[in-house]
Amino acid sequence: MRVAIAKRDMSGTKTAASNIALEQTAFLSAMGHEVFVIAENFGRYGKDRVKIAGGTAVSTFNLPLGFGKGRYFRRKFFASRTQAWIERHHMDFVIGHGDIMRQNLLYMHNCVHLAHERLTGKPLPADHDVGRMHGELLRNGVWDVLVCSSEMMRADLMRRFDLPADKTTVIYPAFDIPRFEASKEERGRLRKDVRERFKIDDETILISLITSGDLRIRNARGLIDAFSEIASIGDVKLLIAAKEKFAPFIAYAKSCGLNDRVIFVPPIDDAKRYFFASDIFALPAFIETFSRACIEAMFCSLPVLVSPFVGASEILTGESRRFILPDLQTQNIASGLRTLIENPALRRELGEINHRRAKEFSAGDALARLSELLPRQKL
């Protein structure tokens, strides 16, 4: 079977959507299918990553940056060029990631309308390029099954766009378990290396927010506010890792009197180093349709404190569900952090529960769900 996977931007090496497209490429290639990954931007390493996964990278014409018709026009241009390529090369099956109008499986990775409403309290402007594209795609596009990242996402899209339940499903974005496996000795060594690098004592409780996304949506300021309330209870520090310009957040932390208590660092490919150095993972986000970072933290045996608007909260079990925040009020975030800081035995118990639970969500499991959605007569 000839399969096309369309994603406009494949340049990211840390974004969940790009990694999911590559996992699909490797999985379908290993099944004997001929896979073509179509993108406008592969960046420096994207084509090599597609090749390693067993696929063929296809670049569409990239409009010059100075082209004056706007980002929405660029998105529609990519969709039309991709559709023309798919028809010209007679693809048997098409997987789209929110950038084209016709596909068999439509994977959506974000709820831009809900995110804007959660962040600002206002409806998304009608001329927002991604929102406009998603609206047209979900109302008028052609697809057999919509794959959502969480039940929260599925419920919002079904309600907002009046979608039939039988055309939607949820496949939780899983993660590459071997990347996060480590012996007790290696965990200890990585923990020591990271802590020495950032001058964090062995006894210090380290709270971490690790993300590849927007720190406003992840509510970094709210976390800093909560941290400022509990910073005096002991030797505690906060580490924030993100692909972001940190200046406004650094200034905010300083304004809260936390100059040397909040550490800002860039993301790294080997994210387990940050997880092993940490004692608590916190994500009090306004919204996150899933959060691979959360499930990775769980696998690395960390207790997690998350908002009810984080899709990964749906998979928490047992005592860990106590640490799904009731809301984003500062005092509730601070209270959850305080409980975890003051109870090392509880942290260990939750870490063990989370590790066992995260093991159920390997990339292989997610891809097995994908295989159930492929046409049987073509296999």
Q: What is the CATH number for 135? A: 3.40.50.2000
Q: Is 129 helix (H, G, I), strand (E, B) or coil?
A: helix
Are 350 and 320 contacting, i.e. CB atoms less than 8 angstroms apart? yes
**Could you read off the pLDDT tens digit of each residue along the chain, which spans 379 residues?**
999 999 999 997 667 889 899 999 999 999 999 999 999 999 999 999 999 999 999 999 877 665 656 789 889 999 999 999 999 999 999 999 999 999 999 999 999 999 999 999 999 999 999 999 999 999 999 999 999 999 999 999 999 999 999 999 999 988 889 999 999 999 999 999 999 999 999 999 999 999 987 899 999 999 999 999 999 888 999 999 998 789 999 999 999 999 889 999 988 888 999 999 999 999 999 999 999 999 999 999 999 999 999 999 999 999 999 999 999 999 999 999 999 999 999 999 999 999 999 999 988 888 888 999 998 744 3
pTM: 0.91
Any bridge partners for residue 264, and if so which? 240
Residues 322, 272 share a domain: yes
Q: Which two tokens stand for residue 228?
A: 């400022």
For residues 229 and 160, membership in a common domain is answered with: no
Distance separating the N- and C-terminal Cα atoms of the chain: 7
How many domains does the chain divide into? 2
Helix (H, G, I), strand (E, B) or coil at 161: helix
Q: Are residues 216 and 230 in the same domain?
A: yes
How far, CA to CA in Å, does 217 sit from each of 206, 310, 317, 340?
22, 11, 25, 24
Q: Are residues 169 and 228 in the same domain?
A: no
Residue reference for tokens 């390997």: 362
The verdict on 185 and 230 lying in the same domain is yes
**Pair (287, 346) in one structural domain:** yes
Pairing of strands 168-170, 205-210: unpaired
Both tokens assigned to 291: 């959060």
**Residues 371, 273: one domain?**
no
Q: Are residues 334 and 210 in the same domain?
A: yes
Helix and strand numbers (H, E) in the chain are 15, 12
**Kind of pairing between the strands at 304-306 and 280-283:** parallel
CA dist., res. 236 & res. 71, Å (int): 44
Same-domain pairing of 151 and 194: no
User: How many CB atoms are located within 10 Å of the residue 208 CB?
Assistant: 24
**Same-domain pairing of 342 and 372:** no
18 with 113, same domain: the answer is: yes
Asked whether residue 193 falls in the same domain as residue 326, the answer is yes
Residues 6 or more apart whose CB falls under 8 angstroms from that of 259 comprise 253
DSSP 231: G
Q: Domain containing 278: what range?
A: 180-358
Q: Residue 71's CB: how many other CB atoms inside 10 A? A: 12
- For 208, the enclosing helix (H) or strand (E) is strand 205-210
Q: Where are the beta strands (DSSP E) in 120-188?
A: 145-148, 168-170
Find where tokens 């940050």 sit. 274
Are 330 and 206 in contact, with CB atoms under 8 Å apart?
A: no
Dihedral in degrees, nearest 10, Cα atoms 331, 265, 315, 357: -120
